[in-house]
Amino acid sequence: MESTRYLSLDVLRGMTVTLMIIVNTPGNGETTFAPLQHAVWHGFTPTDWVFPTFMFVVGNALSFAMGKYEALGNAEVFKKIFKRTFIIFLLGYLMYWFPFITHTDGGAYELSAIGNTRIFGVLQRIALGYGLGALIIHFWKLRGAMIFSVIALAGYWIILYFFGDYSLTGNAVLTLDKFLLGDNHLYHGEGVAFDPEGLLSTLPAIVNVLAGYVTGKFIQQKGNTYEAISKMLMAGVVLIFVALCWDLVFPINKKLWTSSFVLLTVGLDLVVLAILIYIIDIVKAQRWTYFFEVFGKNTLFIYLLSEVGIILLYFFNRYTWIFDHVFLPAFGGYVGSLLFAISWMLICWAVGYVLDKKKIYIKV
């Protein structure tokens, strides 16, 4: 396989990490440009597209990785998939518990209560999406993965329709998470206990992974050809159209990860990837790609670095201080907030650049 044959997939992965860091680290959430914020509830912004695209590129990677499992027995395959799933899930859990201590009112430190640590989250969803997606692909193959996707999206719609409503406080996702985990282990950023990466809403997110897998296999079969990109563009446009129609009865909602949201984001992924294949692999305009390749080569590590670094800045009261004393006076609220996020992204990129030059690639 040529090293640059599927460069477009590497660039898409790197672009996703770039955007994840930028949207996750604004200097001030109150002065953030609207496209860099999530939709409050129903609706869609460019920021809402980032995480499902990460799930999509996980599936892309699976399309290359699953071949090596074909010669192994089922028990060995399950062991390898479970091990990686567990490690990624654990890293996500420890990241939310980190730095394991907290400030007291008296200025001292005490151990953070594990009973208040969020259980589900971004890495946890990636772990479950990878693990369950890989098992579905291994045991049910491509046809089974496509059948599962249809059943999962339709079934999720039925569950949310009959077991609650589509509101923040009345949906089935919240009901199940509160029953299984309790309020203390859920995300509270919405003003109430509700986890946008909850257990039930992970079901449709698996479809994003499977869609990435199917796309990866399609590209490997068709190659970087005009036929491939034309079919991807057509499929993407159809999915976007179906999503917008479905939105009329099952709203596009990132925090509920609704089935219409899945179709919309997969459709956008197909369109963007087709454009990247044309620019990078057909036209061969590749001079600009290395920036994103750096992120694509140490994806998980750089994402963890970006999150842990911000946690430490908050812990030592430097995050707000840096924004208030450096970016806000020089650039104002909105531009300063964006430049803060871009600066942090570039710091993370610099670490990735050093690792790449030293040929250090940290994988789970």
In a domain, 57, yes or no: no
Note the pLDDT of residue 103: 73
**Domain end among 274, 306, 321:** 274
Which helix (H) or strand (E) segment holds residue 141: the answer is helix 122-162
Helix (H, G, I), strand (E, B) or coil at 317: coil
On the CB side of 48, CA atoms within 13 Å amount to 24
- Please check whether residues 123 and 248 belong to one and the same domain: yes
**Number of domains into which the chain is organized:** 2
The answer to whether residue 330 sits within a structural domain is yes
In-domain check, residue 160: yes
Amino acid symbol at 45: T
Q: Is the separation of the CB atoms in 44 and 34 below 8 Å? A: no
Say whether both 269 and 302 belong to one domain. Answer: no
Dump pLDDT digits (tens) for 232-244.
999 999 999 999 9
**pLDDT surpassing 60 at residue 21:** yes
CA pseudo-torsion sign 26, 121, 348, 132: negative
The CA distance from 298 to 146, in Å, is 30
Between CA 38 and CA 26 the distance in angstroms is: 12
Instruction: Please report whether residue 106 resides in a domain.
Output: yes
Of 206, 195, 235, residue with least CA distance to 243? 235
> Lowest-confidence range among 185-199, 323-337, 349-363?
185-199
Query: Could you tell me which residues are beta bridge partners of residue 102?
Result: 110
Gyration radius (Cα) of the chain, Å? 21
46 inside domain: no
User: Per-residue pLDDT averaged across 67-75, rounded?
Assistant: 85
CB atoms within 10 A of CB 17: 26
Cα 17 to the chain's mean position, in Å? 9
2: pLDDT strictly greater than 50: no
- Burial label for 76, CB within 10 Å (0-12, 13-18, 19+), is exposed
| pLDDT confidence of residue 18 | 96
Q: What are phi and psi of 72, to 5 degrees?
A: -95, 155
Helix/strand number for the chain, H first, E second: 13, 2
- 8-state DSSP, 80: H
pLDDT digits (tens, 9 = 90+) for 110-145: 787 787 788 999 999 999 999 999 999 999 999 999
Q: 116 with 234, same domain? A: yes
Please, which residues have CB within 8 angstroms of residue 133's CB and are 6 or more apart in sequence?
58, 59, 62, 145, 206, 209, 210, 213
List all residues 6 or more positions away from 41 whose beta carbon is below 8 Å from its beta carbon: 167, 168, 253, 255
Q: What is the rounded distance in angstroms from the CA atom of residue 207 to the CA atom of residue 202?
A: 9
Q: Using CA atoms, how far apart are residues 353 and 253, in angstroms rounded to an integer?
A: 35
> Which of the listed ranges 187-191, 248-252, 285-289 does the model predict with the highest average pLDDT?
248-252
- Residue 312: count other Cβ atoms within 10 Å of its Cβ: 13
Average pLDDT, the chain: 93
Q: Are residues 165 and 210 in the same domain?
A: yes
- 128 & 155 share domain: yes
Entry field: residues in the chain: 364
Residues 6 and 115 in one domain: no
Check whether residue 186 and residue 225 sit in a common domain.
yes
155-188 residue pLDDT tens: 999 999 999 999 999 999 999 999 998 888 888 8
- Is residue 42 in a domain? no
- Whether residues 28 and 174 share a domain: the answer is no
**Same-domain status, 130 and 24:** no
Pick the last residue of a domain from 217, 239, 274. 274
Q: Are 95 and 172 in contact (CB under 8 A)?
A: no
Q: What is the residue whose two structure tokens read 């812990």?
A: 315
The span from the CA of 263 to the CA of 318, in Å, is 40
Task: Identify whether residues 251 and 296 lie together within a single domain.
Answer: no
Q: Indicate whether 81 and 160 sit together in one domain.
A: yes
pLDDT digits (tens, 9 = 90+) for 269-283: 999 999 999 999 999
Continuous segment of H or E residues that includes residue 157: helix 122-162
Sorting pLDDT into bands at 50, 70 and 90, what band is 5? Answer: low
At residue 111, what are phi and psi to the nearest 5 degrees? -65, 130
Can you give the residue range of the structural domain that contains 121? Answer: 73-274
User: Which one of 251, 274, 297 terminates a domain?
Assistant: 274
